[in-house]
Amino acid sequence: MNPLSLVTIQQFEEIYKIPVHIRPQAEDTAVACGIFSRRIIVNSKFMYLPTNEQLAILLHEAGHHYLGHHFRNLLLIPVFWTDYATRKLIDQELEADDFVVLEGHGVGLMQYLRGQADLLRARGLPDAPQEHPPIKTRVENIREQLAVKERLYAVETLA
């Protein structure tokens, strides 16, 4: 286990005001839950990841909360399993990734996603569930967002 896991979680909770619950048997590495009582649930695999990947994952899930995705998903219920709803869910994943980049942890998220892609490929499993964009698309999006952020920083330092 990463010895900094509990420290990482504690610091995250203090800064972002979202409690993190460890559920060893949870299927997903991490998931954002709740509309009125925000929380993030992580599984035991999360505890073994490098600290920079843990922070990136927590920020991705926090992005879903801060960007109001749970509220927006309530509006999708009447059309939930349609192509329109699937596109909206994919857009939300990319938006949550953008939140990670804005918070300064895009590289950690790219590292995690690349590791996941390798694991899935080795097991012969699909790249991503239907409601998620392909990992390659997510990594390309993060790379583009990092480049934009770098250019903006360069312009700011010149001013």
pLDDT of residue 133: 94
61 DSSP 8-state letter: H
* Mean pLDDT, residues 88-115 taken together: 96
pLDDT of residue 100: 98
- Whether the pLDDT of residue 51 is over 70: the answer is yes
Per residue in 125-150, pLDDT tens? Answer: 888 777 789 999 999 999 999 999 88
CA distance 152 to 126: 36
* Mean pLDDT, residues 91-105 taken together: 97
Whole-model pTM: value is 0.90
